[in-house]
Amino acid sequence: MTAADLFPILCETTVAGSAAILLVLALRKPLRHAFGAGIAYAAWALGPLAMLAVLLPAAQSPVLVVPVIAMQAPGDVLVGTGGPRATPDLATWAVMFVGCGALASMCWMAVQQRRFVRGLGLLADRGDGVFVAQATEGLPAVIGLLRPRIVLPADAMHRYDAAQRDLMLAHERAHIARGDLVANAIAAALRCLFWFNPLVHFAATRFRHDQELACDAQVVRQHPDARRAYGEAMLKTQLARGLLPLGCHWGQTHPLRERIEMLKQPLHSMRRRALGRATAVALLLATGYAAWAAQPSQPSITTVPAGKIAADIALRVDEGEPVRLRAVVDAGVPFSLSGDEGGKHYAIEGSVTRMQHAGQPALALDLRIVEGSRQDAGPKLVREIASPKIVVSSGKSAQIHVGEEVADPAGRTTFKGVRLDIVLTDSMPVAVAVAKRVAMPASTTAAKPKPITAKLAMAATTTGRFNTYERMLTSLSASWQPPKPVEEGC
């Protein structure tokens, strides 16, 4: 997988994660009020879940297999195979830039973590898994992802009485039991990877807030008669001034006023908490499914017979739904596919030949796209849209756009024209030196088409053996001469 292949994955996970974060930000307070702080904290799993969902394989849609129509055999034409572009494209540069930023963010968080741990000084082991530091700032806290340790400030024995110390330890042990250190590590990793998204950093602070409230609620349920002592311990604790990325601070992130106000709230019943857990699970499932279902469906590809080449083409007009077509042919044998979309009839004619590009096996596809209209007597083809040629590796996708982006009065842009998403699959990718080009037969038609102007763009990725992301089709923006007449019918 090349850097350019990672760009769409990065875009999809960014969009899915941002949408999930906005949903959680809107629901966290209503969930906390209705079901408790623990349910609001659990809702933050929507973000990572949505990102993982878009990485799953998309749903497959059936492909219409169209029989090959015999056509006049093409003549042999030598096809040049210009060298690949060595300069990385915009997608590659974007992935490299994001990767460098992620590495820098990771290093900065590691420096913060190391600085905080070193600032604790020597840790005195009390023998019960609790350590006493030489420092007081930022404590109590839990440190250590694989071996969690509770660290108390140096003046813990003087600042807090015995009951308050027990409540503090119950709070920190709740962090460990709930797996909050792992959750904080995941949040830190997401902040490093999506450092360019301010929504992720904003959500991280709210996530830590809800985490502290959830632990407070758990301690209050375990010690319902110790609310006053718990609140006094909060007031005595100094607010930490430095962020510990992979640890859990006592009172580090959440305003004490809101935490103390929560201590006054009555406890939710078991039935209410059970309903909240069911609601959280339903939210997780619905969000994960929505993120997965939002992906464009992939055509279901069947096995290509030995010696054959499969051409899977998705025809889309403007912003309509794609019409999927498939032809399985021999190399150099012309084929013809047709489909109706947007109230018009389209014919796609061409042939696929094996060739060698940059010392690697590739496939050359010559196409002729013809547009027509539907009539009672059958489709009537009226004009040729484009005659592109592409070179692509077996199994890799290519796109052909004939049209332009049009802006509406609201400023939104939509594509007007014809788009083809093409995947060529060769059952025996062997390198050859000569490719054949299709010579379409001439015929007559009732109406002479007018010259048209079109823009053609194509992007094709190479196989994993290529070291660069190739674009084999030259952008075309020219006024064409009237094409050869075509015959009625398809």
Tell which of 260, 293, 326 closes a domain: 293
17 and 201 in contact (C-beta within 8 Å)? no
CB 373 within 8 Å of CB 488:
no
- d(CA 419, CA 325) in angstroms, rounded, equals 13
Q: In this predicted structure, which of 71-85, 237-251, 416-430 has the lowest mean pLDDT?
A: 71-85
The answer on 246 and 355 residing in a single domain is no
Q: Is residue 79 part of a domain?
A: no
Report the amino acid identity of residue 458: M
Residue 443 is predicted with a pLDDT of 39
Asked whether residue 19 is assigned to any structural domain, the reply reads yes
Residues 385 and 469 in one domain: yes
Average pLDDT over residues 157-175: 93
Parallel, antiparallel or unpaired: strands 298-299 and 309-317: unpaired
Query: Would residue 221 count as lying in a domain?
Result: yes
- Whether residues 333 and 458 fall in one domain: yes
- 285 and 305: one domain? no
At 23, the pLDDT band (50, 70, 90 cuts) reads: very high
Alpha carbon distances (Å) from 434 to 352, 357, 361: 12, 11, 12
Question: Domain range holding 178?
Answer: 3-58+89-108+161-293
Cα separation, 324 vs 312, in Å, equals: 7
Does any domain span residue 130? no
pLDDT in tens, 273-300: 999 999 999 999 999 999 888 876 665 5
Whether 185 and 247 share a structural domain: yes
User: pLDDT (tens digit, 9 = 90+) per residue, 328-360?
Assistant: 989 999 998 888 876 788 889 999 999 988 888
Confidence of residue 227 (pLDDT cuts 50, 70, 90): very high
pLDDT for the residue numbered 1: 63
Q: Give yes or no for residue 44 having a pLDDT over 90.
A: yes
For residue 197, being part of any structural domain is answered with yes
Contacts of 133 (CB under 8 A, 6+ apart): 120, 121, 122, 123, 124, 139, 151, 152, 153, 154
Instruction: Specify if 242 maps to a domain.
Output: yes
Cβ 76 vs Cβ 436: under 8 Å: yes
Distance of CA 264 to the CA centre of its chain: 42
Q: Which of 236, 264, 293 is the last residue of a domain?
A: 293
For residues 192 and 227, membership in a common domain is answered with yes
The residue out of 239, 262, 293 marking a domain boundary is 293
Mean pLDDT of the chain: 78
Instruction: Please give the tally of structural domains in the chain.
Output: 2
310 found inside a domain: yes
Tell me: do 208 and 239 sit in the same domain. yes
Residue 340 shares a structural domain with residue 444 = yes
- Between CA 132 and CA 201, with CA 120 as vertex, the angle to 5 degrees is 115
CA 324 to chain centre: 24
CA distance 21 to 14: 10
